[in-house]
């Protein structure tokens, strides 16, 4: 079984630029999550999808962050414009249903200059 795929693995941008991350969940997994992990902290949930619908985006900074999950499979997370405090690892996870263990990708490390 292929795992959760994320790209790119690393990204360096300047503040006020835009950036996008991509996630391909495990085949058949209906639930998809994006987490932000700032250095030295545990991951924080940004958004949860069930198929192509948003279940929870209460911690997503909607003035600059957006996410979509087209056709209930792949997902993209975008930041526009980026701030210095957005430097973090962005983790994508998926699960067959929301009450089953989540499988994580390797994450994208974002550095803002």
Partner 1 sequence: AQTVTQSQPEMSVQEAETVTLSCTYDTSENNYYLFWYKQPPSRQMILVIRQEAYKQQNATENRFSVNFQKAAKSFSLKISDSQLGDTAMYFCAFMKRTGGGADGLTFGKGTHLIIQP
Binding site for partner 1 (CB under 8 A): 31, 33, 35, 40-45, 48, 50, 55-56, 89, 91, 93, 97-99, 101-107, 109
Residue 15 burial (CB count, 10 A): 13
Residue 39 near residue 88, CB atoms below 8 Å: yes
Closest contact distance (angstroms) between CB of 113 and partner 1 is 21
Min dist CB 9 to partner 1, Å, is 9
What is the DSSP code (8-state) at residue 98? T
Question: What is the distance between the alpha carbons of residues 38 and 19, in angstroms, rounded to a whole number?
Answer: 17
CB of 70 to partner 1, least distance (A): 20
Q: For residues 88 and 106, what is the distance between their CA atoms, to the nearest angstrom?
A: 13
| Residue number with CB closer to partner 1 (12 or 15) | 12
Residue with Cβ nearer partner 1 (5 or 20): 5
């Amino acid at each position: 079984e292929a795992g959760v795929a994320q790209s790119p693995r690393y990204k360096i941008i300047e503040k006020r630029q835009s950036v996008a991350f991509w996630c391909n969940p495990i085949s058949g997994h209906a639930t998809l999550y994006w987490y932000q992990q700032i250095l030295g902290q545990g991951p924080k949930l940004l958004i949860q999808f069930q198929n192509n619908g948003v279940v929870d985006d209460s911690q997503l900074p909607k003035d600059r962050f957006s996410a979509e999950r087209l056709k209930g499979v792949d997902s993209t997370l975008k930041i526009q414009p980026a701030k210095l405090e957005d430097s973090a690892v962005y983790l994508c996870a998926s699960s067959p249903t929301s009450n089953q263990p989540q499988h994580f990708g390797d994450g994208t490390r974002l550095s803002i200059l």
